[in-house]
């Protein structure tokens, strides 16, 4: 994996493209490196509607990629590392929707319909990107544990916590969960908003403290 060979802070960068022109870019912060999530680090990302301190022209950077790859329209997802000396090392470029809940995070962070805007680009239209009440918004994958589920915190409990605006539970009591060592393994997810990146990250930690998953061995 790229993460094994590159140092620095990892970011995710998304963009909307129409008629070969980058309409806007959307930066996401990852609280923990992907490899750290396998060992218990916060498994999520935070869209920076505010608090973007990268200090680079993301739109110009992405436009160079769009021109070089001759991308006409659609959603572009990228991952890159920012080294300590300020260098940018692009590790992934995909002409596709981002995984997990990144697209809707961007919508929550800027109060607009990202999916509708994306669809417009594929229909040959240029979406009107009108934002309001910028903030930060992130998705948090809930911890996963193999075995038969004996107890799990109800989704309703998590939705009542500060800043939690949406969520989904993928497991239920009685389910047999296979052993899997993968960054995407989760019991479900919640999406959390807040006025700053740090507040969203603090709220993520609060959810992790509240969430309990108890399993029993069925071997």
- Specify the higher pLDDT residue, 50 or 38: 50
- Look up residue 206 and give its two tokens: 């609060």
What is the extent of the structural domain holding 132?
A: 2-216
Highest mean pLDDT out of 49-63, 123-137, 176-190: 123-137
Q: Decide: residue 119, CB within 10 A, 0-12 exposed, 13-18 middle, 19+ buried.
A: middle
pLDDT score of 51: 87
Q: Which segment of 9-13, 47-51, 84-88, 175-179 scores lowest on mean pLDDT?
A: 84-88
- Asked whether residue 2 carries a pLDDT value surpassing 70, the answer given is no
Section 17-39 average pLDDT: 88
pLDDT > 70 in the chain, percent: 97
CA-to-CA separations, 136 to 45, 105, 176, 180, 184, in angstroms, rounded: 10, 8, 35, 31, 22
How would you list the strands of the sheet with 188-194, edge to edge?
Answer: 88-94, 74-82, 9-18, 21-29, 44-48, 136-142, 188-194, 164-169
- Asked whether residue 3 carries a pLDDT value surpassing 70, the answer given is no
pLDDT score of 1: 57
Residue 81 pLDDT grade (very low, low, confident, very high; cuts 50, 70, 90) = confident
Q: How many domains does the chain have?
A: 1
- Look up residue 187 and give its two tokens: 């019991």
User: Could you report the per-residue pLDDT of 147-173, keeping only the tens digit for each?
Assistant: 999 999 999 999 999 999 999 999 999
The enclosing domain of 104 has a CATH number of 3.30.470.20
How would you list the strands of the sheet with 176-177, edge to edge?
Answer: 176-177, 147-152, 213-216
Section 212-218 average pLDDT: 94
pTM for the full predicted model: 0.91
């Amino acid at each position: 994996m790229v993460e094994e060979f590159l140092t620095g802070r990892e970011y995710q960068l998304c963009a909307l493209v129409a008629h070969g022109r980058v309409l806007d870019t959307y930066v996401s912060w990852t609280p923990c490196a992907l490899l750290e999530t396998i060992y218990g680090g916060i498994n999520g990302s935070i869209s920076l509607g505010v608090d973007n301190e990268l200090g680079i022209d993301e739109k110009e950077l992405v436009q160079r990629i769009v021109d070089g790859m001759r991308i006409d329209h659609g959603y572009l997802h990228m991952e890159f590392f920012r080294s300590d000396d300020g260098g940018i090392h692009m590790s992934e470029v995909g002409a596709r929707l981002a995984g997990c809940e990144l697209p809707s995070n961007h919508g929550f962070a800027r109060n607009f319909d990202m999916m509708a805007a994306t669809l417009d680009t594929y229909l040959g239209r240029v979406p009107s990107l009108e934002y309001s009440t910028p903030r930060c918004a992130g998705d948090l994958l809930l911890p996963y544990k193999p075995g038969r589920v004996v107890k799990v915190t109800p989704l309703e409990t998590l939705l009542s916590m500060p800043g939690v605006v949406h969520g989904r539970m993928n497991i239920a009591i009685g389910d047999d969960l296979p052993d899997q060592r993968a960054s995407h393994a989760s019991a479900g997810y919640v999406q959390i908003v807040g006025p700053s990146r740090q507040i969203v990250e603090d709220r993520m930690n609060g959810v992790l403290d509240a969430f309990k998953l108890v399993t029993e061995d069925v071997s």
